[in-house]
Amino acid sequence: MTTPEENPELPGLEDALTRARAAHKKMAAALDEDQEPESDEDLGWQPVWKQPRKPKSKAAKKLELHKQRRRLQDAGKRRLTAGESRRPRPRQSRIGSAAARRDARALSRVRHSTAWPR
């Protein structure tokens, strides 16, 4: 195993310290560049998340809210129709009224009884 004293090509402690101090200055300069620029400076191209926010007009806000409300209503309608399409139909819906249901019940009783002629 080699130690820094035996191997002359490994940097010494003082050398590492000076390189770290130089790197610190570079990093501080890079961090300062990343901060918000002055208002009179030309911004150039910036990613969306770095662009300054522009206040929207009332008309633009209303239009955006209208579109959002419409989108949500359409999604609700789709959700409702999707749920209804999967739901099995109840038998009662085939026979319209309660009176007709009673008649059908009576007929089926007669049909399944022994009194029905064969």
pTM of the shown model: 0.32
The mean per-residue pLDDT over the stretch 21-37 comes to 77
Contact 10, 4 (CB under 8 A): yes
Q: What is the DSSP string of 54-93?
A: -PPPHHHHHHHHHHHHHHHHHHHHHHHHHHHHHSPPPGGG
Q: What is the pLDDT of residues 56-81, one digit of tens each?
A: 999 999 999 999 999 999 999 998 88
For the ranges 38-47, 60-69, 76-85, 96-105, the one whose mean pLDDT is highest? 60-69
Kindly state the tokens that stand for 106.
Answer: 């009576």
Question: 38 versus 103: which is more confidently predicted?
Answer: 103
11: confidence class by pLDDT, cuts 50, 70, 90 = low
Cα(83)–Cα(76) distance, rounded to whole angstroms?
A: 11
Name residue, tokens 């570079």: 26
Q: What is the DSSP letter of 79?
A: H
Give the pLDDT score at 101.
Answer: 76
Mean pLDDT of the chain: 77
The mean per-residue pLDDT over the stretch 83-107 comes to 70
Question: 39 versus 50: which is more confidently predicted?
Answer: 50
Give the pLDDT score at 28.
Answer: 82
